[in-house]
Structure 1
Amino acid sequence: MLERLSWTRLLLELALFCFPALLLGLIFGYLSWLLLASVLVALAWNFYNQLKLSHWLWVDRSMTPPPGHGSWEPLFYGLYKMQQRNRHRRRELAILIKRFRSGAESLPDAVVMTTIEGNIFWCNGLAQHLLGFRWPEDNGQHILNLIRYPEFSQYLQQQSFLKPLTLHLNNERFVEFRVMPYSEGQLLMVARDVTQKRQLEGARRNFFANVSHELRTPLTVLQGYLEMMSDEALEGSVRDKALSTMQEQTKRMDGLVKQLLTLSRIETAPSIAMNQKVDIPRILGVLQREAHSLSAGNHQISFRVNEDLQVFGNEDQLHSAVSNLVYNAVNHTPKGTHIEISWQQTPLGAQFQVSDNGPGIAAEHIPRLTERFYRVDKSRSQQTGGSGLGLAIVKHALSHHDSRLEILSDPGIGTRFIFTLPKRLIVPATSIDNKVKMGE
């Protein structure tokens, strides 16, 4: 095994060069000249090995060093081992960098690495998508040239990154920025899209405001009549009116609470198994009787139902969807309106449609109809007890069945509410026939 050089080995090697000269000098004389010649030979031999080393390092660059002898052998071998260690470290560093970049690309946030001055030297793919960076074109760019917002510039200049900065970008997204020192002279910036979080916070605030508003009116009526009853005895028509109004408002609150519970149950329901057979024709048969009773002869209601068309899905959710659409048509159209309910098979799947020839809905209202508590005619909704939750229930129930509600309306002509369940959810006719035979 080779060992590092030592003074002893170098002196022995010099002695080997000088020994022949010493021997010949003792025999033939001219000792000093022979010793000088030996030293020159040793110097030439070292120059030769230096040239070999230089050629290997700068020209050859092969993996293995040239053969060395004497004191040069451990030098060549030592350089070779050092080269192997450096190569191994480079491989480990490359793997580490690859893992870091792979992990950064997998993060759900945009990651940007900059110098302390703000020059970008790396970013992940989400930064390119969320912040509009181009890579590698933006390599070396100053980050303030790409994110041009006064608040962001001030945030970087303050060099106080204890709290995140949230910006409303030009692409209508809310982005939360966090900056932290990464290593000496470098900064790591993490940008997170918090648009959905902001929307949920806004929806929550609107929800509580709407619920408070919806409950305030009936509670005020009940409180007023209860105070009247406590102050004086109500008799006759006044008492009957008070009881009727309180019952009506109590019924309204009860309906609101039931719809809120239904909506909450549908929203929080896990992914449903699409193996339950739902007999929509039977459900529509019950709704037909209820719709005629609710209309009290004020509407012309007709049903066109394919009695053999059943689907797979969640019966409670589909019942909520179709019943809300039917009840809305009866409750929110004027007297004399013709309402048609259809359940038919189409090339796209099983289609349910409720159409009327009522006054229609203005185009600006249609995109918001499925929002909670949104009502086109609030005065009429108060008269009919509408809460603005029915279409929100329909929307979420259909989303669990890979379908969506389509609303078509022309003011003065009428409105159509349509949804189509995918063909894969239709129960095969053979399965229905076998069920009928077993029932017989």
Structure 2
Amino acid sequence: MALGRQKYDAAAGTGSWEPLLYGLHQMQLRNKKRRRELGNLIKRFRSGAESLPDAVVLTTEEGGIFWCNGLAQQILGLRWPDDNGQNILNLLRYPEFTQYLKTRDFTRPLHLVLNTGRHLEIRVMPYTDKQLLMVARDVTQMHQLEGARRNFFANVSHELRTPLTVLQGYLEMMQEQALEGATREKALHTMREQTYRMEGLVKQLLTLSKIEAAPALLLNEKVDVPMMLRVVEREAQTLSQQKHTFTFEVDDSLSVLGNEEQLRSAISNLVYNAVNHTPAGTHITVSWRRAAHGAEFCIQDNGRGLLPSIFLV
């Protein structure tokens, strides 16, 4: 008598077969319930994995892929279900990644740079006795921000050398001989200029430190940018000392939602940089106007411009 997947009706059993048929029927019901529960659990796991901001891949101990989420297809270039059963080492051909999986030391994450230039942080952990869970996070933007931060501090260190050298030179001159008349006035004027320059650099450093240390700021504060620009215009005129001419084209009705302190820092730094790095006798135009999807802040001058790497973040 073949049992197979035949459905048994316990009420139809008679005689000595009744307990056996009843037991088989109950076993089928339990197995069906377990399969349903397991299916629901797998669905919940996959649904949760799809909502993660990371690429998730499940593999065997040898690296055979048996599931991945959508971000794994986007970030790692996997194809599901086409890559089902494929060894991940054949699809991600990077020596450091191969070494990472083969050494089985997963105490630290692996930093992997793909051929596309994307930076990944990869973590691997045992999923079951013979399976592995791999999580890959795209840290490209974080890497670029850290690079921009290093460049910023390197540039500030370089910028500080010039005013310090000037101050040191004049101080040594004043120690060796008494300065009088126009020479003394020129020395004091130059030292004052370099002091203001260093003060501006220190303010930039303090602003950056404050932003890094602060929690996430609310960006729903209404900021009166026209009023802010009027203050910045006066400060720029003072900083320029009549070496430049200015035009401020400002839409007085245009305000934005954001963080006032950070906007003031960004706008003033851009204007002050234009003053400091634009040749004397040239014109600087600052505009604040409506754009297709919001507002546009623009500076036009005859300076050397900002490095393209600044805009990578």
How does the TM-score come out when normalised to structure 2? 0.77
Classify 1:211/1:132 alpha carbon distance in 2 versus 1 (closer, same or farther; 3 Å): same
Distance 1:322 1:201 in 2: 22
What is aligned with 1:407? none
Report Cα offsets for 1:124-183 as digits up to 9, x if no partner.
Answer: 222111111001100111112101112222333333434333221111112233333332
Distance 2:161 2:91 in 1: 50
Amino acid in structure 2 at the alignment position of 1:272: L
Distance 2:210 2:116 in 1: 34
Equivalent of residue 311 in structure 1, options 235, 242, 255: 255
Q: For 2:178, what is the secondary structure of its paired residue?
A: coil
Q: For 1:246, what is the secondary structure of its paired residue?
A: helix
CA RMSD of aligned residues (A): 3.8
Classify 1:341/1:127 alpha carbon distance in 2 versus 1 (closer, same or farther; 3 Å): closer
Percent identical among aligned pairs is: 62
What is aligned with 2:138? 193
What is aligned with 2:56? 111
What is aligned with 1:164? 109
What is aligned with 1:430? none
Distance 2:66 2:243 in 1: 72
What is aligned with 1:236? 180
What is aligned with 2:92? 147
What is aligned with 2:220? 273
Matched, 1:135 2:76: no
What is aligned with 2:308? 367
Classify 1:211/1:116 alpha carbon distance in 2 versus 1 (closer, same or farther; 3 Å): same
Superposed displacement of residue 306, structure 1: 5.3
Structure 1 gaps of 5+ residues are 1-50, 372-394, 396-440
TM alignment of 1:10-25, pairs within 5 A: none
Is the 1:66–1:76 contact (alpha carbons within 8 Å) kept by the matching residues of 2? Answer: no
Classify 1:261/1:92 alpha carbon distance in 2 versus 1 (closer, same or farther; 3 Å): same
Amino acid in structure 2 at the alignment position of 1:101: R
Classify 1:159/1:209 alpha carbon distance in 2 versus 1 (closer, same or farther; 3 Å): same
Distance 1:208 1:305 in 2: 32
TM alignment of 1:233-272, pairs within 5 A: 234-236=178-180, 240=185, 242-262=187-207, 270-272=217-219
Amino acid in structure 2 at the alignment position of 1:367: P
Distance 2:193 2:73 in 1: 57
Point out the structure with max Rg over C-alpha. 1
Is the 1:113–1:120 contact (alpha carbons within 8 Å) kept by the matching residues of 2? Answer: yes
Amino acid in structure 1 at the alignment position of 2:78: F
Amino acid in structure 2 at the alignment position of 1:153: T
Superposed displacement of residue 256, structure 1: 1.6
Matched, 1:125 2:70: yes
Classify 1:250/1:294 alpha carbon distance in 2 versus 1 (closer, same or farther; 3 Å): closer
Superposed displacement of residue 212, structure 1: 2.2
TM alignment of 1:5-404, pairs within 5 A: 51=1, 54=2, 57-58=3-4, 61-62=6-7, 64-65=9-10, 67-226=12-171, 232=176, 234-236=178-180, 240=185, 242-262=187-207, 270-275=217-222, 278=224, 280=226, 301-302=246-247, 309-313=253-257, 332-334=277-279, 337=282, 339-342=284-287, 353-355=298-300, 358=302, 367-368=308-309
Amino acid in structure 2 at the alignment position of 1:136: P
Report how many aligned residue pairs link the two structures.
Answer: 309
Amino acid in structure 2 at the alignment position of 1:137: D
